[in-house]
Chain A
Amino acid sequence: MIPRSFEYSAPGTLDEAVALLQKLGSDAKILSGGQSLIPMMKLRLASPPHIVDINRIPGLDYITEKDGFLRIGALVRESDLERSELVRSRFPILVDTTSVIADPLVRNQATVCGNLAHGDPANDHPATMLALGAIVVAVGPRGERDVPVENFFPALFTTALEADEILREIKIPIPPPSTGGAYLKLERKVGDYATAGVAVQITLNNSGACTAAAGIGLTNVGFTPIKAVKAEAFVKGKQLDQAAVKQASEIAAGESHPVDDIRGPADYKRDLVRVLTARAIVRALERVKGGV
């Protein structure tokens, strides 16, 4: 319950932070909301020698729309997302997601970017960001680079970030009209990590068929967050009638790789993916038509 001792720095600018990271290399860990890192340190699952706290860096708590993207800065808390009018009106799928993460106390601290940077397949935002086709903006000594979120999670608890990079921003393409999305999660009780979760984002064309922009992401049914590419490919160009929804959800279930654990056996979780995918598609379709 007591972390090992560590050094602590709280740089005042991104440049300083990057310089520190460059100097310290893999000895350093960034602290943002601390809602994953601190518990791991307390349990001594992680014992970073140096903590670089980015909370004092001004100007990172923005949620804005610019150049065709919704931009979420590194210090945007989950609760900011819930409160943002922009998010509420344009991205109900993000509200779905944030509102099922932990509890209000955790959400007041936890950051959206940290939720991705942690690389935990049980976290909820990765699936949603996969469905949304989000882009992660990483800043490091070599400057800034964009990483599509589908390339961001190479392995369990691993991200595409280098040790000296900071996840500065998440960019989400502003969806065209006739788009709807939804995130659904089954938890054993309020506040729990997902037994399984599914995010769906779809755009319909003039004839009501699904466009190429469809995205489906899966939570906690594999070693990484899963982009259900086969299900995505299946829905493209299709009218999403009952039969298509059923088939898409079965394909998505087949793309999941759950394991038996305290939350249930693998078969059960795979079936949850099926049910949740079908429901999330239906929900997304309702939202295309202006439902909430």
Chain B
Amino acid sequence: MNTIGKPISRVDGKLKVTGSARYSAEFDMPGLCYAVLVQSTIPAGRIAGMDDSLARKAAGVLAVLTPENAQRLPGAEKRLSLLQDNQVYYNGQPVAVVVAEKLEEAHHAASLIKIRYSVSAPKLDFVAGFPSSHPGNHNGEPGDMSWGDVDGALKDSDIKIDQVYTTPIHHHNPMEPHAAIAQWNGDELTVHESAQDISGHRAKLAKLFGVQESNVRLICLFVGGGFGCKGPLWSHVPLAAMAARQVNRPVKIVLERPQMFGPVGARPRTHQRLTVGATREGKLTAIRHEVHAHTSVIEDYLESSAFPTRVMYGCPNVSTIHRIVDLNLGTPTYTRAPGVATGTYALEVAMDELAYKLNMDPLQLRLLNYTENDPQTKLPFTGKHLRDCYTRAAERFGWSNRTREPRSMRDGSQLIGWGVATETYPANRRPASALVRFKPDGRVLVATGTHEIGNGIYTIMIQTAADALNVSPDLIDAQLGDTALPPAPITAGSMTVASVTPAIQTAAERVRTRLLQMAVADSGSPVHDASVDEVDFKDGLIFRKLSPNRSEKLGDFIARNGGQPIEGIAHVEPDETLKQKFASHSFGAVFAEVSVDPDLGPTRVRRVTAVYDVGKVLNEKTARSQFIGGIVWGIGLALHEDSHMDARTGRIVNENLADYHVPVNADIGEIDVSAIDIADTHLNPLGARGIGEIGITGTAAAVANAIYHATGKRIRDLPITPQKLIA
């Protein structure tokens, strides 16, 4: 088979468009009842009293969980708000749970609970928190890292840029809200959860409830979008399990849209100061990227915005610094291209500012500072073809027709602007396992505990197995999203394909070898007595290479041999020494054309052209969707997305999709994406580096730079709303 790379349609596409794909809240079971969260209405303080007497008496109510009566869970992290104490750390924190026969009853009862608070002064002023901010790390990588002598180099630089760029709080807003159904059977807990990390959640739940991991099972067949917010475990899942234990029935909890703006993560606000020095010829001499980002008062999360600055350009003196500001808000978390989306915005706008100061083409400036090696470690990249991305994208976009001066391009009354930015995202890979099974009915099963978050992994799993086994994809079924399957890592960090496909390949190789060994040993087989090398398996047939006509169907073979499935299981670890030899990142170049109405201010992104170097593209169609989705996110970052926090109460004011704006089809112009498509086999055998996040990186900067080119106005505070352009 040769399916890898082909634009194969999603195997789950039909299920999804016909509504038959089952999402986590869509499971029914006998005795299922409903829980709703009661949330705090103050940002900081203490619950002084809670009167749940009316709620308890309300129709259908089975239980009311409060800090008074909730099961004690030793070791429960504060961030999980599991009703372990009376403290309130942010507005919207879960403070009680009502369980009832019907959802409507639970709702009604929840509205009857009266809470008295003792309010403390909240920390909600981000900038005021800078003096007491503190360092942190992101996934174990230190927030602060420097090389060379930045201060010295800046002093001697011919040209300097020193600007502050800010980005607001974002909420992920997947279509499918968080949802969980928890069910206990003795000491065994089964949870249907919309999750990006079933193994991780299983481990945490087991620890919380003091049971063996093997006693906890998580199931998640489809995720209706996660974008990072379904990576960590949030309160509602253990709360559902606590409720289920208390009422001794399965309990379902589905967050409402407004509840998605508080207790389940956000992209934190960032304040990024970039100081860039260069020679008159445009060679970078120094970059300082200093980031402030917020977290909650209960847990550190670091938005690693300066990380991309560590790899993007050849620069001898670089300093990347992060400081975290504690606020009385829900804990922020990973959001599509965490750190990199916000960081590339700042860095790539600063580069544009530098280009203008140098009177140089912004693309030229980037080429001039191109680096073949990781600028910090000097290690070579596992593969880097960014130069080709620039060239190809510039050509497709028509960049050479750009006139340099701001406000120099027009279409009727509209100002036209063209902007460019570089994109990057680290190539990640983690250990993963998979099984491939030949089934008695002649079909093949490929399975691993990964997650279909819209990334197309069901399809990629089948393609990988099809090619590894020489079997038509039509004969293969894929299974995922179940901790009963061999475990896979969290679906995040654009690493699913890089992690999971090697495990599938190895498992496929094992089951195939196993099958051929059994076949040559089987006296009833037409390949009996041949050596394993002389026989082959293809499209469901076992045969001799030299006489392919002497063959047997897989199903017939299994039937004759006891009717039991044949299975290969593999656990594959990435080569940890790779990091000592190589740096591994994806790159891309993105160009945007905007039109701006000079009197009213709205920006329209007319077209975006991007070319990516992401290693081997495994499926042209699903890859295209990922790139486009990323670019649309980048446009949202540039122009729309903005969670407005009420400065006194710490509540998000626009906690709905009418007021929290994400672009829709009608907001989006033409998008032209392609990939260099050169396999990066250092990272994994298929040479794929993952594509889920790179599209959002750089895009906001390309749009912002295009807006500057159109209008001559440099807006350094996202989103770039009409009003900021008119002011």
Contacts and interface: CB of A to CB of B under 8 A. Distances in A.
Given A189-B640, A268-B727, A275 B599 contact: yes
A187 B727 CA distance: 17
Nearest to A1: B256
A186 interface: yes
Contacts of B602: 186-188
B275 to A, nearest CB: 32
Contact of A190 (B600, B654, B666, B721): B666
Contact of A265 (B107, B640, B723): B723
Interface stretch (B151-159, B587-595, B656-664): B656-664
A190 B107 CA distance: 33
B661 A189 contact: yes
Contacts of B726: 268, 271
A16 interface: no
Contacts of B104: 2
Contacts of A49: none
Interface in B301-350: none
Interface in A242-292: 262-265, 268, 271-272, 275-276
Contacts of B600: 186, 272, 275-276
Given A2-B104, A186-B602, A189-B661, A262 B722 contact: no
Interface in A176-205: 186-192, 195
B664 A103 contact: yes
A188 B654 contact: no
Contacts of A187: 602
Contacts of A195: 722
B554 interface: no
A189 B664 CA distance: 9
Nearest to A264: B723
Contacts of A188: 602, 640, 661, 721-722
B257 A262 contact: no
Interface bracket on A: 20 to 34
B667 interface: yes
A235 to B, nearest CB: 20
B286 interface: no
Nearest to B103: A2
B164 interface: no
A189 B667 contact: yes
B322 to A, nearest CB: 30
A272 B599 CA distance: 8
Contacts of A265: 723
B25 interface: no
A271 B653 CA distance: 26
B644 interface: yes
Interface string B711-727: 00000000001110011
A179 to B, nearest CB: 25
Contacts of B103: 2
A276 B256 CA distance: 38
Q: Is the interface of A mostly helix, strand, loop or mixed?
A: loop
Interface string B217-258: 000000000000000000000000000000000000000110
A191 B666 contact: yes
Contacts of A1: 256-257
Given A1-B257, A188-B661, A262 B654 contact: yes
Contacts of A190: 664, 666-667
B446 to A, nearest CB: 38
Interface in A1-53: 1-2
Contact of A191 (B107, B664, B721): B664
A186 to B, nearest CB: 5
A186 B644 CA distance: 21
Interface in B618-676: 639-640, 644, 653-654, 658-659, 661, 663-664, 666-667
Interface string A139-152: 00000000000000
A192 B661 contact: yes
Interface string A71-109: 000000000000000000000000000000001000000
A164 B602 CA distance: 43
Contact of B653 (A191, A262, A263, A276): A262
Nearest to B656: A43
Contacts of A262: 644, 653-654, 659
Contacts of B727: 268
B257 to A, nearest CB: 7
Nearest to A5: B104
A103 B657 CA distance: 13
B634 to A, nearest CB: 15
B639 to A, nearest CB: 8
Contacts of B639: 189
Nearest to B668: A190
A187 to B, nearest CB: 8
B100 to A, nearest CB: 12
A187 B597 CA distance: 12
Contacts of B107: 2
A103 B602 CA distance: 19
Contacts of B722: 186, 188, 195, 264
A271 B103 CA distance: 48
A1 B108 CA distance: 11
B652 to A, nearest CB: 12
A187 B667 CA distance: 11
Nearest to A195: B722
A14 B62 CA distance: 45
Most chain B CB inside 10 Å of its own CB: which residue of A188, A191, A264, A276 = A188
B347 to A, nearest CB: 26
Nearest to A276: B600
A190 B654 CA distance: 17
A190 B658 CA distance: 11
Contacts of B644: 262
Contacts of A272: 600
A188 B726 CA distance: 13
Most chain B CB inside 10 Å of its own CB: which residue of A103, A264, A265 = A264
B659 A268 contact: no
Contacts of B653: 262
Contacts of B256: 1
A47 to B, nearest CB: 12
8 contacts: A103-B664, A103-B666, A186-B600, A188-B602, A189-B667, A262-B644, A263-B723, A264-B722
Given A103-B664, A262-B653, A262-B654, 12 more contacts: A1-B257, A187-B602, A188-B602, A188-B640, A188-B721, A189-B663, A191-B666, A262-B659, A265-B723, A268-B727, A271-B726, A275-B600
* 8 pairs of A and B residues whose beta carbons are closest in the complex: A190-B666, A264-B723, A275-B599, A1-B256, A268-B723, A190-B667, A2-B107, A189-B661
